[in-house]
Amino acid sequence: MIRRPNEIWQASGDEVTPKPLFMNRRKIIASAGAIGLAGLAGCSDASTAAQAQSPVGTHTPDPERQLDYARSDFRLDEALTPYDAVTGYNNFYEFGLGKGDPARYADRMTTEPWSIEVDGLTDRPGTYALADLVDFDALEERIYRLRCVEAWSMVVPWIGVPLSAIIEQLRPSPAARYVAFETYLNRSEMRGVRFPVIDWPYREGLRMDEAMNPLAFLAVGVYGEILPNQNGAPIRLVVPWKYGYKSIKSIVKISFVADQPETSWNLTAPNEYGFYSNVNPQRDHPRWSQRTERVIGGGVFARRDTEMFNGYADQVADMYAGMDLIENH
């Protein structure tokens, strides 16, 4: 992957936690019941207040893009990455290699209507409209850390549904041991695909037990609103214990298969990017260390130690019992 020294978020000079971010966090904690409401004057109706208020940064919420969702238990008690970084510092190579390219060019992608083709080892193959697959009355918010393989991370409030709910609805047969995903591909809308950085369309996959793990999530929103195109509208995967590239964006195809599917980065550079791609500070990338990570939006020098499975070991380590995680990186 290409690394840019002049990453735009780093250059923006935003080195302190903005005040709205701090307030937002307090309201979220209050609504999750982690602390009482005492001392939070003005925040008594915490959950609606948190949902209605302006997300962090300069962004003004667009009433047309607001989603209804419930909070859930999947959250980090940490400062959220500012809205402007979550939606302005992206990897979506279909729109270019620069971190600012997706925010600049992804608007050209047509996301409505959107359908998803389902094939392979399932009782319910076919072409599904987005609303037939995702129950928009059952959305929840999950705050997950996204740890990019390029050794930076963000803390993001996603809105969506568990991947397991969708898979159960699609009834894969017992022979389906993996699930594969494909991203939308349109040469006239995606200026980055003329570069053969990878063999388009972008492809990813999970073992079925990984896909059914309660942490695996399909996001349709972020920061209380419909996903912006640069974050993978209208639907993208979020697999928080794996490097960010597993979290495939703008999904148009789901296939249930018996054998381990091909995945884009593994095809491109197999010694650098494996199929599993679990976050692992013990296994350095051949060209850089994975022991620490830069905290996006936390200022130029903000770093943290990378955690095994990105901090989600309690929920996922069992799935890899007995596996050599250096070999199976």
Q: Which helix (H) or strand (E) holds 203?
A: strand 203-207
CB of 303 to ligand MTE, least distance (A): 17
Binding mask 59-98 for ligand MTE (x = CB under 6 A): -------------------------------xxxxx----
Asked if 232 touches Mo ion (CB under 5 A), the answer is no
CB of 42 to ligand MTE, least distance (A): 32
Q: Which helix (H) or strand (E) holds 83?
A: helix 83-86
- Segment interacting with ligand MTE, rule: CB under 6 A, options 38-46, 65-73, 173-181, 245-253: 245-253
Residue 90 site contact among ligand MTE, Mo ion, none (CB < 5 to 8 Å, cut-off depends on kind): ligand MTE
Q: Which residues, other chains included, contact 39 with Cβ-Cβ below 8 Å and sequence gap of 6+?
A: none
Of residues 19 and 287, the one with the C-beta less far from Mo ion: 287
Q: Of 130-149, which residues contact Mo ion (CB under 5 A)?
A: 148-149
Reference 106, options 167, 216, 186, 203; nearest CA is 186
Tokens describing residue 198? 């990878």
- Which residue is at the shortest CB distance from ligand MTE? 244
Of residues 46 and 84, the one with the C-beta less far from ligand MTE: 84
Three-state DSSP class for residue 231: helix
Of residues 93 and 241, the one with the C-beta less far from ligand MTE: 93
CA distance readout (Å), 128 to 118, 124, 229: 8, 10, 20
- Largest Cα–Cα distance in the chain? 57
Three-state DSSP class for residue 122: strand
Interface residues with ligand MTE (CB under 6 A)?
A: 90-94, 146, 148, 183, 202, 231-232, 244-245, 247-250
